[in-house]
Amino acid sequence: MANIKADQVWTGDLNKAALDGPKMPAPKFYDTTLRDGEQAVGVVFDPEEKLSIARIVDSLGAARIEAGFPRVSEEDAQAIRMISKAGLSAEIWGFSRALAPDVDAVAELGLKACVIEAPVAEGKMKALNITRETVLNRVKTSIERAIALGVKVAYFGVDATRADLGFLETVYKTARDAGASEFAIVDTMGIAVPEAVSFLVKRAQGWFDRGTPIHFHGHNDFGLATANSLAAAKAGAQWIHGTIDGIGERGGNANLPEIAMALEILYGCDCGYRMEKIRAASEYLRKTAKYSLEPWKPVVGDNLFVRETGAVSAQFHLPHAIEPYSAAILDTPRRIVVGKKSGAASIDIKCGELGIDLDKERKTELLAKVKARAIASKSLVSDEDFKKLAASLE
């Protein structure tokens, strides 16, 4: 935990007891915000915005950035050119279907690494009106073409978690024999449980030489993308795919900041992720993509370090009593707000914060007024209204 101090984490000893043994190797992060993230309904990033997002992703510490799918549009190709020239620390990857024109478009942009995808589940193949034989042929020829053009390939089996296991093995071995050097296990519909992800990652390890990089790409349709990514890492996946805030199609992608926090704080892995920049990154992406998040969202939610309840406010002076980790890790302030659920401690803290001097009796009256105002308005009481209510008691 390079950026986190031991005295900033208050998770107790249970996890340590449960995880007793060799520490899990830290996976690296492959950020696909610019490609899979943009597939969220209604989201469009222009090339300049994509470059800004790529800079942010790079500053967070993702080791690879999927810059885009150049066959989608000239704007995507332009964005890839700009990102490739930006001098970022992360490796810049492209995305391609297992089709020659897609592969050529990646190579023409000078990209040296690319994910190549092909469907492996029966339902996907039926929807696209292609056969198993077609898939195998496309995988073989497209990967061979990419290798001949000097492009490193990670094969990406679309809908792998719903595929026939025998055919899945055949496809991945075909990709291996064609020259792919890395392989992504893909939970396209987010249907796998963590145990299934672990099972499939371990099974795939038997298809390749020892140490061959295996990726996990998860979606969040059942709210399991973070847990599944952790299971994949625990099973030996070296690369975890995801996006900022989990932005993406349907229920979204795996959320890299959430995964990073869990790995760093709960598993003790040094992932090289810059936690103090996560909330600003989320804020920029939300503004650019025009979406909002629930205030109780892990890692980036507005309410994480805000307290209203009186019983909790009474413990506010001891952060470890009411929070699992320090707000300083995320470079964000803690604060008290007042409303229906406030108590005497809330009033004491807010009065001190605003420089209001009231005796105990008037603070009790003020608490009653605060509660009444909050109930009537069905909202919190602002600092300005709090001052007015306090002044009415003088």
- Assigned domain for 300 exists: no
- The Cα 354–Cα 197 span in angstroms is 52
Other Cβ atoms less than 10 A from the Cβ of 87: the count is 7
pLDDT at residue 46 is higher than 90: yes
Q: Residue 253 above 90 pLDDT? A: yes
Percentage with pLDDT > 70 across the chain? 99
User: What's the confidence (pLDDT) of residue 210?
Assistant: 93
Domain enclosing residue 358, as ranges: 306-391
pLDDT at residue 213, as a whole number:
97
Give the three-class secondary structure for 342.
coil
pLDDT band for position 310 (50/70/90)? confident
3-state DSSP call for residue 343? Answer: coil
The answer to whether residues 281 and 52 touch, using CB atoms and an 8 Å cutoff, is no
Beta carbons of 147 and 178 less than 8 angstroms apart: yes
Q: Do 203 and 323 lie in a common domain?
A: no
Same domain? 253 vs 318: no
| Structure tokens given for 55 | 């800079």
DSSP 374-389: HHHHTSPBPHHHHHHH
With respect to residue 295, please indicate whether it lies within any of the assigned structural domains.
no
Q: What percent of the chain stands above pLDDT 90? A: 88
The per-residue pLDDT for 73 is 86
Where is the domain boundary, 289, 315, 346? 289
Q: State the Cα–Cα distance between residues 175 and 232, nearest whole angstrom.
A: 21
In angstroms, rounded to a whole number, what is the distance separating the alpha carbons of residues 116 and 97? 5
User: Tell me, what's the pLDDT at 21?
Assistant: 85
Mean of the pLDDT values across residues 283-306?
A: 94
Instruction: Please tell me the least confidently modeled range out of 1-5, 22-26, 205-209.
Output: 1-5
Give me the amino acid identity at 58. Answer: D
Domain total of the chain? 2
Same domain, 131 and 53: yes
120 plus 261 within the same structural domain = yes
Q: Is residue 296 part of a domain?
A: no
pLDDT > 90? residue 195 = yes
Mean pLDDT, rounded, for 137-152: 97
Position 53 in a domain: yes
Q: Considering the domain boundaries, does residue 327 fall inside one?
A: yes
The stretch 210-237 carries a mean pLDDT of 97
242 and 323 part of one domain:
no
Helix (H) or strand (E) holding 30: strand 28-31
Do 81 and 187 lie in one domain? The reply is yes
Q: Would 212 be classed as within a structural domain?
A: yes
Residues 282 and 330 in one domain: no
DSSP assignments along 37-70, one per residue:
GGGSTT----HHHHHHHHHHHHHHT-SEEEEE-T
pLDDT digit string (tens) for 158-190?
Answer: 999 999 999 999 999 999 999 999 999 999 999
3-state secondary structure 292-335: CCCCCCCCCCCCCCEECCHHHHCCCCCHHHHCCECHHHHCCCCE
β-strand partners of 307: 336
**197 and 319 in a common domain:** no
What does the pLDDT read at residue 3?
72
Query: Which has the closest alpha carbon to 156: 226, 216, 82?
Result: 216
| CA 386 to chain CA centroid, nearest Å | 38
Residue 58: which CATH number? 3.20.20.70
pLDDT above 60 (res 1): no
Q: What is the pLDDT of residue 368?
A: 92
* pLDDT value, residue 64: 98
Measured between alpha carbons, how far is 96 from 115 in angstroms, rounded to an integer? Answer: 6
Q: What is the mean pLDDT of residues 370-390?
A: 93
189: CB partners within 8 A, 6+ apart: 159, 161, 162, 219, 221
Of the listed ranges 40-54, 91-105, 307-321, the least confidently predicted one is: 307-321
Q: Which two tokens stand for residue 65?
A: 């950035």
**CB neighbourhood size of 215 (10 A):** 25
Instruction: Kindly state whether residue 298 falls inside one of the protein's structural domains.
Output: no
Q: What is the pLDDT of residue 2?
A: 55
E strands, 60-181, are 64-68, 91-97, 113-119, 152-158
pLDDT band at 133 (very low <50, low <70, confident <90, very high): very high
Q: What is the mean pLDDT of the chain?
A: 94
- The least confident of 45-54, 110-119, 226-235, 340-349 is 340-349
Are residues 168 and 106 part of one domain?
yes
Same domain flag for 250 and 333: no
Whether residue 328 is predicted with pLDDT greater than 60 in this model: the reply is yes
Please check whether residues 270 and 197 belong to one and the same domain. yes
- Which of 228, 259, 289 terminates a domain? The answer is 289
Task: Identify the CA nearest to 207 among candidates 187, 184, 190.
Answer: 184
